[in-house]
Homo-oligomer: A and B are copies of this chain.
Amino acid sequence: MSEYIRHDPSGRSAGRVEKNYFTFAEPPNEMILDSGRRLGPITIAYETLGTLNADKSNVILVFHALTGDSHVAGTYSDNDDKPGWWDNMVGPGKGIDTDKYFVICSNVLGGCMGSTGPASIDPAAGKPYGLNFPMVTIADMVRAQKALMDQLGIERILAMTGGSMGGMQVLQWCVQYPKMVLSAIPLATTTRHSALAIAFNEVARQAIIADPNWNNGNYYENDKPNLGLSVARMIGHITYLSDEAMRSKFGRRLQTGENFSFNFEGEFQVESYLRHQGAKFVERFDANSFLYVTKAADYFDLTRQNEQASAADAFSNAAARFMVISFTSDWLYPTYQSRDMVKAMKKNGLDVSFCEIEAQWGHDAFLLPNQRLSTLISGFIDSVYERL
């Protein structure tokens, strides 16, 4: 269980951070999306840690996963006891060392943590977009991030990393803006979302859509589809763990005592855990955003980029140095998918190293404190930086 407690390997906090906002694509200069639809204005929420050096050569982009946000590390105030989602990795002296590097993390387009998404006000209608929000893809998310880089005057990115849907953004950047990316660390991710991963997302979406409060996406002035969103989150949490993780974390232990209660109140610890995760999630996440970001992940398929026929073709114009990392017990994006990715990179003569980390915690492993992961990431980034 201790691996589930966030800790700070360096003992030093990333300190106070602020959420910033960048707005662009004001009409009539809206962004043209993969779907062909136009969207604007677009606001992207982002946070930075560390100091940008004079020649802007120390930039690291971190991308969050499905339901994450821009708050990657540090705290918003001195008495804030809930640091960012990757505080164990990002900070002074940590795997991604904010004493040396300038870290940027933005909330994805379509999200609900400050960036424009379905819960944002549609200026044309004067009310939240709801399902009028256009579908976005990972490539669209990356376009918005590129606009932010332009605004910050950043032309080259030393390294980028992220797990799961964050890793998809890493890969997308490397094929979409290949000249900008010096190195990339895709974690626990895939070049194309599998049928199994789509299946889980679809069932989660159906749980939301089945909630009458969802009301075809028009719920912002009424009761929210919290029950459906909670079930969706519970499905997600099963996929983030593994059989082995569940066995060691919960087994068949009961919430209270030795005896079955013979009712539907959720007597097993694993039931209580999932219910708790569901209930917590609805307080922070927008149901429509969940629909949009899961679809973005489902659409992700590098082999369809620029009408390429294979992942190898998709990487043909990539130029970054890669370190690909997978985790043994991850059954959402299993290691074979990372191996396929590595093969495709190698076919293009790219400089790529691959590591499968032994971890029992399933897909979630990339988020958890792991000395090996920290060491691999810091060593890789330092070596890229030293070669500059």
Interchain CB contact (< 8 A) of A194 among B210, B246, B275: B246
**In the bound complex, do residue B262 and residue A198 qualify as a contact, i.e. CB atoms below 8 Å apart?**
no
A207 touches B207 (CB 8 A): yes
CB of A135 closer than 8 Å to a CB of B: yes
Set B206, B210, B252, B262: member contacting A135, Cβ < 8 A:
B262
In the complex, A103 Cα to B175 Cα: how many Å? 61
A123 to chain B, nearest CB (A): 21
* Alpha-carbon distance between A241 and B202 when the two chains are bound, in angstroms: 15
Q: Which residues of chain B come closer than 8 Å to A262, judged between CB atoms?
A: 34-35, 37, 134-135
Given contacts A199-B246, A291-B264, contact A275 B206 (CB under 8 A): yes
Select which of B37, B235, B252, B260 is within 8 A of A195 by beta carbon: B252
Among A222-244, those with CB < 8 Å from B are: 227-228, 230-231, 234-235, 238, 241-243
The answer, yes or no, to whether A205 is at the interface (CB within 8 Å) is yes
Chain B residues near A196: list those with CB within 8 A: 238, 241-243, 246-247
0/1 string, A163-193, CB within 8 A of B gives 1: 0000000000000000000000000000011
Which of A45-53, A145-153, A294-302, A367-375 contacts the other chain? Answer: A294-302
What is the minimal beta-carbon distance from A10 to any residue of chain B, in angstroms?
34
| A41 interface hit (Cβ, 8 Å) | no
Q: What per-residue 1/0 map shows which CB atoms of A253-291 lie under 8 Å from chain B?
A: 000000010111010101100110010000000000001
B231 touches A268 (CB 8 A): no
Interface residue A212 (Cβ < 8 Å from any Cβ of B): yes
CA distance A202 to B263 in the complex (A): 12
Task: For chain A, give the interface size range.
Answer: 35 or more
Partner of A193, one of B234, B252, B299: B252
21 contacts between A and B (CB under 8 A): A37-B262, A131-B264, A193-B252, A194-B247, A195-B249, A195-B252, A195-B270, A196-B238, A198-B268, A198-B271, A202-B234, A202-B271, A202-B275, A203-B234, A203-B238, A203-B274, A206-B274, A210-B210, A210-B227, A210-B228, A264-B295
Given A206-B278, A210-B231, 14 new contacts (CB under 8 A): A35-B260, A194-B247, A195-B246, A195-B247, A196-B241, A198-B252, A199-B238, A203-B238, A206-B231, A207-B210, A209-B264, A252-B301, A260-B299, A331-B331
